[in-house]
Amino acid sequence: MQPADIPLKLTQSSALFLDRDGVINRRLVGEYVRKWEEFEFLPGVLQALKVMSSIFHRIFIVTNQQGIGKKLMTEDDLFLIHKNMEEAILNVGGRIDRIYHCPDLADSGSDFRKPRPGMAFLAKADFPDVDIPSSVMVGDSESDIGFAKNAGMQSVFIAPQPIEKRKLSPEPTLVMKDLLSFALLIQEQYKIS
């Protein structure tokens, strides 16, 4: 039975897909997080990931990283950032099952660059037990919501300032102020301790 208060429909096979910059860590406006020292978790994110780990069957990060395509950083730089990020998440009792990134430039036409759904299909191929229609993409850009729509999943738009979901195109399933607010809402609605 689904809670009536929220429009999401979760199952035991639902996965959580997360954008990185602006959802997990502070976005550097007009810049790229190129090294671990520039990476800063947003408030409440580590607690949110601990909560989400008990709710979602799988948790993935799907992130466009064209800083690699622009030669501003390397795959090794990104690997080190993600290794440190995952260790911090594990240390608080959270988890990330897999990180997918697309290094291609925005004008490349790559099927793996959001809003195209290639990274969702990679996750489904790697984890066939994931139910995409009951999965949720959480992001802070319209390309994240487009990714969800193109993959056939539900979406949550992170907006620190109030915004009406119908002003976004495509329209997300839900709008929340941050990842922790979403985690606590799901925890309460599904009575998960």
Let me know: does 134 contact 11? Beta carbons within 8 Å. yes
21 is catalytic: yes
- Which string of b and e fits 88-116 if b means at least 16 CB within 10 Å? ebeeeebebbebbbbbbeeeeebebbbbb
Annotated catalytic residue, options 5, 21, 144, 178 = 21
Annotated catalytic residue, options 5, 19, 104, 178 = 19
Q: For the chain, give percent helix, strand, coil, nearest 5.
A: 35, 15, 45
104 is catalytic: no
Q: Which residues are known to be catalytic?
A: 19, 21
